[in-house]
Amino acid sequence: MLPYSILELQRKAKMANMSEYNDTSLFENDNDTYPGAVDLCLPEEWFQKFLPLYIHPIICMTGLLGNILVIITYSFYKKAKSMTDVYLLNVAVADILFVIALPLIIYNQYSGWTMGDFICKLLRGTYSVNLYSGILLLACISGDRYLAIVQARRSFRIRSSTLVYSHITCFAVWLLALIISMPTFIYSSKYSTRQPYYSIGGFLNATGELEYYDDLPQVDNVCFFMFEDNETASLMKVLVPSTQMVVGFFLPLVVMGFCYTSVLITLLRAKNFQRHKAVRVVLTVVVVFVLCHLPYNLALLYHTITQFEQMECSHSKSIMATLTVTEMLAYLHCCLNPLLYAFVGVKFRNHFRKILEDLWCIGKGYITTRRPSSWVTSEMCLSSRRSVDGSFSDKGASFSM
Amino acid sequence: MARLLVLVLCLLVLLSTGAIAGRRGGCCTKYSSSVLPIERVRGFSIQTRRGNCNLDAIILHTVKGKHVCVDPLQNWVIGIVNKLKAKVQDLRQKKQNHK
């Protein structure tokens, strides 16, 4: 507090020296209130800062863990055989990149963006690319399941003959996500929230230049959109969230809705002993997608419509808080993808079990080398591994969605 | 594995609590209905929708260090802004002449 008061005194002294502007009111001791005056609206600390602080690490850790397990399982124990496998692997990659970008963005938000302008563009761009590709790939998975189950006869030859189609689709999805994210990459930049300040006294520095000073509430760097003029800002501040709502939610929702409804109808007609499980899986996938993304998209829609209107500070704060909370819910989806798509499959779970057992055996092996007396455990490992391998040939257990 | 996870989690939380120092400046979300006398205004800054704020506004800084959000299209605001700008120009000229 002390340095500030010294500055204040210096400032007052300087102003007092300027006879032309003998602003005596500066020393008057009135309360300085004006009816109807509106102050700056500061962001809500609790929702914007402290809640994300405890929720985001959890999202990052679980998202990282689940998706790394998916990638490990696919890369070491299972060659991506079906189209769905290729999509699932790509979803896991998108989710991992997303949860890696997330803590870096959060860290920089807290530290007043200590990293550079390019990192700002790169992180926000990466975040956007992976958001789109992750969700669009989920729509592709629904399309793949539709082809496999509803158009089974027609698609059999295509699906069994080549994986090229799924690779092309994935490439197209990543490219589309990249193109849609270009505005975010181009217009994001690191800048100071400190606005040019014009003052009548005492703030010219030694060289006669107008000096900025920290009069506005503690200002620091942010990484956000910055447009060259108001017209571009008005356009892009509507266009970017609109694209996000349409391509990142509405379009995938329509595709998933159509594909999974057709799948459900086909499944309910079929007389398969496992159809109840399949129906449950399909419904869970759709319900979780809607629960995670609908609240955020509704909040975003409301914000996009009302953003340029005048509003009370409390109203603005509650919109921001709603966006923050619903966004967390949307982030949560990338932690749930491994569970909803990969671990739900029997085949995948068997491969995963094999990994765990191998890891356990390596651990045991490490102990046995140190304590030679317990060689029996390694023998057990070998036998258990054999039995797991055996279960793979069991075609009956390999119904995986 | 679990211990490692807890460790990394603690580290993340520590990292982020240590970095709390920064704070984002606020934005004007509404214009004032009152008119300020120019003697009470020390300076002004301009808020545009180009950056992280969405309302075009003039932020008047009162002599007591308060901020008042006003409509940049109001005549009295344009008056204050022009007078302050002229004073600033004047001061700058004087400063340069002194050297």
Residue B14 lies in a domain: no
Q: How far is CA A288 from the centre of its chain?
A: 16
Query: Is the distance from CB of A102 to CB of B16 less than 8 angstroms?
Result: no
Q: Which residues of B touch A32 (CB under 8 A)?
A: 40, 62-64, 66
Which string of b and e fits A312-323 if b means at least 16 CB within 10 Å? ebeebbebbbbb
Per-residue pLDDT at A80: 56
Q: Does domain A45-344 have CATH number 1.20.1070.10?
A: yes
Q: What is the pLDDT of residue B9?
A: 53
Show the CA angle centred on residue A380, arms to residues A372 and A352, nearest 5°. 120
Q: Residue B24: its pLDDT value, please? A: 52
Residue B16 maps to a domain: no
DSSP character for A210? B
Q: Count H helices and E strands in chain B, helices first.
A: 2, 3
Please list every residue in chain B whose beta carbon sits closer than 8 Å to the beta carbon of residue A29: none
CATH code where residue B72 lies: 2.40.50.40
Q: Is the pLDDT of residue B21 over 50?
A: no
Q: Is B82 contained in some domain?
A: yes
Query: Where do we find the tokens 């211990």?
Result: B3
Cβ pair A53:B16 closer than 8 A: yes
Do the domain assignments include residue B12?
no
pLDDT at B8: 55
Q: Could you give the C-alpha distances from A228 to A210, A221, B44, in angstroms and in order? A: 23, 18, 21
pLDDT at A214: 44
ipTM of the complex: 0.75
Å between B4 CA and nearest CA of chain A: 11
- Quick one: pLDDT at residue A94? 93
Residue B17 lies in a domain: no
pLDDT at A355: 80
- Domain ranges for chain A, please list them: 45-344, 355-392
User: Could you tell me which residues come within 8 angstroms of residue B84 by beta carbon, excluding any fewer than 6 positions away?
Assistant: A198, A199, A200, B41, B43, B44
Residue B16 has pLDDT above 70, yes or no: no
Contact B39 A35 (CB under 8 A): no
Q: Which helix (H) or strand (E) holds B42?
A: strand B41-47
Q: Which residues pair with B61 in a beta bridge?
A: B43, B67
Residues of A in contact with B22 (CB under 8 A): 109-112, 220
- Which candidate from B16, B39, B59 shows the least CB-CB separation from A107? B16
The pLDDT of residue A296: 95
> Which of chain B's residues have a Cβ under 8 Å away from the Cβ of A229?
50
Q: How many domains does chain B have?
A: 1
Instruction: Identify which of A42, A194, A234 has the shortest CB distance to residue B49.
Output: A234
Taking CB atoms and an 8 Å cutoff, what residues of chain A touch B25?
Answer: 40, 42, 193-194, 216-220
Rounded to an integer, what distance in angstroms lies between the CA atom of residue B57 and that of residue B26?
A: 13
Cβ contact, residue pair A311, B29, below 8 Å: yes
Banded model confidence at residue B23, pLDDT cuts 50, 70, 90: very low
Q: Any long-range contacts for A242-246 (C-beta under 8 Å, 24+ apart)? A: A242/A304, A243/A180, A244/A131, A244/A300, A245/A297, A245/A300, A245/A301, A245/A304
pLDDT in tens, chain A (401 residues): 334 444 444 444 444 444 333 343 433 445 567 788 888 888 777 777 778 788 888 899 999 999 998 888 888 765 656 778 888 899 999 999 999 888 888 787 777 778 888 999 999 999 899 989 999 999 999 998 898 888 877 766 665 556 788 889 999 999 999 999 999 999 999 888 766 566 654 444 444 444 444 455 545 688 889 999 999 999 999 999 999 999 999 999 999 999 999 999 988 888 766 778 888 888 899 999 999 999 999 999 999 999 999 999 999 999 999 998 999 999 999 899 998 888 888 878 888 888 888 878 877 766 655 554 444 444 445 444 444 443 333 333 333 44
Range of the domain at B72: 34-94
Using CB atoms, which residue from A106, A217, A230 is nearest to B56? A230
Span B72-92, average pLDDT: 85
Contact indicator for A210, B92 with CB cutoff of 8 Å: yes
Q: Which of A5, A54, A193 to mutate to test the interface with B (most CBs of B within 10 A)?
A: A193
